[in-house]
Amino acid sequence: MDNLIRNTTEYALHIVNAYMPESDREFTVIDGTCGNGHDALALAKMLWPSGYLEGSSFKLYGFDIQKDAIDNTFDNLCQGGFGQALESGSIKLVHDSHENIKMHLPGGGMHSYNVDIAVFNLGYLPGGNKEITTNVSSTLDAIASLLEILNKDGLISITMYSGHEAGAKEKAELLAFAQKLDSRIYHVSYISMINQQKNPPEILLITKKK
């Protein structure tokens, strides 16, 4: 096994993997920030470790506000062997802000549709325009809406980057928001690489207790 604690993104995905189902049942995963599709491919491999199965009850939704990110994720998933899952709708990529996640789930937000796992890897698109970043307003809206429809024992994993101005603000407000969550309903964990320099990525985890 790789030294997971050295790579924040891999560390977050390792934790997410522990929340994946052991058998096929209705189970919905959200990638709230597609980027170049690395997380989406990792999540697809967790859901279908032996390859995609037609008729599976698993669903994976990916969101990004940049069309390049959606295209890159589509290509990455196809190259990774999940073209059939995209064709069948088991994996759906949505060119929209993650604050509108509920609108794109079955029912269009008109009734409850529960989610089991949501993953956010914040910041800007690697290799893209660094001026286009996730922002605190849409991110908070996305997290708040997902908490409403998160299943019991579900997980939201958020990788935060405070090395740029927008990211520092986003991290501060996310932590403030998370600290105020009702401890009777949610359990929150914050992972920080406290001896590293240059603002390394940090992980915020929220799970629903009931």
CA distance 180 to 111: 26
pLDDT score of 154? 97
The burial class, CB within 10 Å (0-12 / 13-18 / 19+), for 54 is: exposed
The single residue listed with the structure tokens 């929220």 is 206
Closest CA to 29 of 88, 38, 19, 37: 19
Reported as a single tens digit per residue, the pLDDT across 104-118 is 998 766 656 899 999
pLDDT score of 166? 83
pLDDT score of 24? 84
Closest CA to 113 of 126, 103, 128, 123: 103
* pLDDT per residue rounded down to tens, the chain (210 residues): 577 788 899 999 999 999 999 888 899 999 999 999 999 999 999 999 999 989 999 999 999 999 999 999 999 999 999 999 999 999 999 999 999 999 999 876 665 689 999 999 997 667 776 667 788 899 999 999 999 999 999 999 999 998 888 889 999 999 999 999 999 999 999 999 888 888 889 999 999 998
> What is this structure's pTM?
0.94
Using DSSP's 3-state secondary structure scheme, residue 47 falls into helix
End-to-end CA gap in the chain: 33
The burial class, CB within 10 Å (0-12 / 13-18 / 19+), for 181 is: middle
pLDDT score of 92? 98
pLDDT score of 131? 64
Closest CA to 140 of 106, 169, 117: 169
pLDDT score of 22? 87
Residue type, 23: S
DSSP 8-state class, residue 5: G
Please provide residue 189's backbone torsions phi and psi, each rounded to the nearest 5 degrees. Answer: -130, 140
